[in-house]
Structure formats: C-alpha cells, structure tokens
Amino acid sequence: MADADGKTRAAILGTGNIGTDLLMKILRRSAALEVALFAGIDPGSAGIARAHERGVPTSSGGIDAVLADGSIEIVFDATSAAAHRKHAPLLRDAGKVAIDLTPAAVGPFVVPAIRCDVGAERNLNLVSCGGQGTIPMVYAVSRIQPVAYAETVTTIASRSAGPGTRQNIDEFTSTTAGGLVRVGGAGRGKSIIILNPAEPPILKQNTIYTTVDGEPDRDAITRSVHEMIATVQQYVPGYRLKFDPVFDGNQVTIMVEIEGAGDFLPTYAGNLDIMTSAALAAGEAVAAQIRKAST
C-alpha cells in the first residue's frame, strides 16, 4: 500500500545501531519508501527516542506491532539471525516482504550490485556485511572465467561489532561462504572474520582470494573488477578498491575497503553501513516491483 505521496509503507524491526542507521538513510534519501513503523522490544531504546523526535511512528511491541499494521508491505529485519528465523514465517503469512539484514539465510541471497529481482520471493536475505563487500568481487572474476575457489577475510573495527554482530559470528562465516558460491559463482567458498581492536578504529577491509581455472585473463578481470566497484558505489559511495587485482599464477587477490556514510554510525563502521545501504537499495527495488504490479 502506497501513501499519499506514492511511497511504499515499510517497517524497521530492530531499533539498535543498524536499524537506526537504516532509518536515517531512508528519511534522508529515499523517494520510494516511508517508514510507517520503527519497532523494537525496549521502550527505553535510544533508537526509538530518535525516531520519535523525527516524527516516525514507534512501538516497543516488536513483531506483533508490525504484524498488526496491514498497510505495511516491506519489513526490514535488523534484529538477529535467531530472531529472524522466528519472524520469517509470521511475516510471510501476513503477506509482507521481509528484507533480512541478519545472516539467517532464510530466503534467497540478494546483493544489489548483482541481483535484486527475485520474482515472487517474500524473504530476501542480504547475506552479511562480509558478503556484501566480497561477493561482488568474486562475481566480477567469475563472470570472466570460472572460479574454482574463493576465500575472503573481513576485518572490522572491534568497536563497530556490537552484541548482535558478536552473537552472529558463526552464522556470518557460514552464510558468507555460501553466498560466495550461490551468488558469487565460486565452486567452493570460505569466509573468515577478524575483529581488530586498533585505536583509532580502522575502516572495514575485505581481502578476496580467488583461484581461477587456467591462466587468468588479467586485462578482462581488472576491467570487470573496476566496473563492479563503480556499480557498488552507486549505493555504497565509500566502497573502494585499495589497488588493482594482484595476479600470482592462477590466483587473483583483490582488496577493498568501505568507509561509512556517517548517516548515524561513525564512518569507520563500514561493515554496518554496507548492510544498511544494501537494504535501502533492495527495499527501493522491491517497492518498484510492488508499484509495477499494482498498475
């Protein structure tokens, strides 16, 4: 259901740092989405207070409050992997599209730079922050020639890893590895995450190692990587290549870093910014599909 301005009504479930950063992104940038409800389970949440100050409807009723509003069509779940596994069937039965910012891996994996249109699917999984940073680079190589194996190392500032991130570490590694195969196109995948306690906090960095079949087409792979960097930058401006791909036999190494936009979170929290940026891009794509279907 669209509001009077033609915007699709959406809810954000989870009022912590990720949910609050997504809220700020939608309020500042989106011409397609209206935050009809910002819901959590803690009435004293600082996120709820910020949303209330900006005139956004809020609730501490959690998933029940979201389900009770029949006008909401898109729900961004910024809670936890365990919570989303409980929320997913409830949202599906209520006819709402879930965009999952947790590594629950309930629905099809979505990386906006590669694909957002998943047809009639009602649950879109954004893989993980590591997946959003690394899968585009694996795909950039695999669309040139087959990738037998991809291994990625995600390094983030320890200060940017809150309780939710730490609780989801196991899901992070398994879900990211799966995304390297299912979306990135690798034959096999492995994912590693490192929490770096350095002060001042470091920017998020991803190192991507790929093993290709045969001799790498260096020029074509380098062009493909630069093209994919530009594609991701359309919705994550702080996503950038550290240096050109490095070739060693049939191995290709790529390193990227992500600087956050600073909408709510500090700029070093690129691991969280890339998730909320991907969520906004996916949400706007879903809103466009909903509008097209209603005409």
Q: Which position has the token pair 């994550």?
A: 236
Give 247-275 pLDDT, tens digit per residue.
Answer: 999 999 999 999 999 999 999 999 999 99
Query: Would you identify the CATH topology of the domain 8-126+273-294?
Result: Rossmann fold (3.40.50)
* pLDDT level of residue 168 (50, 70, 90 thresholds): confident
Nearest to 234 by CA among 99, 93, 114: 114
Q: What is the spatial distance between Cα 284 and Cα 290, in angstroms, rounded to a whole number?
A: 10
The CA distance from 269 to 74, in Å, is 25
Polymer length of the chain: 295
Strands 251-258 and 239-241, bridge-based pairing: antiparallel
Q: Residue 119: pLDDT above 90?
A: no
Strand-strand pairing, 251-258 and 204-212: antiparallel
116: annotated active-site residue: no
* pTM exceeding the 0.85 threshold for the entire prediction: yes
pLDDT for 167 equals: 83
Q: Does domain 129-269 have CATH number 3.40.1390.40?
A: no
Whether 4 has a pLDDT exceeding 80, the answer reads: no
Q: Where along the chain do its domains lie? A: 8-126+273-294, 129-269
Query: Of the residues 48, 110, 129, 203, which is catalytic?
Result: 129
| Mean per-residue pLDDT over the chain, rounded | 95
Mean pLDDT for the stretch of residues 120-148:
95
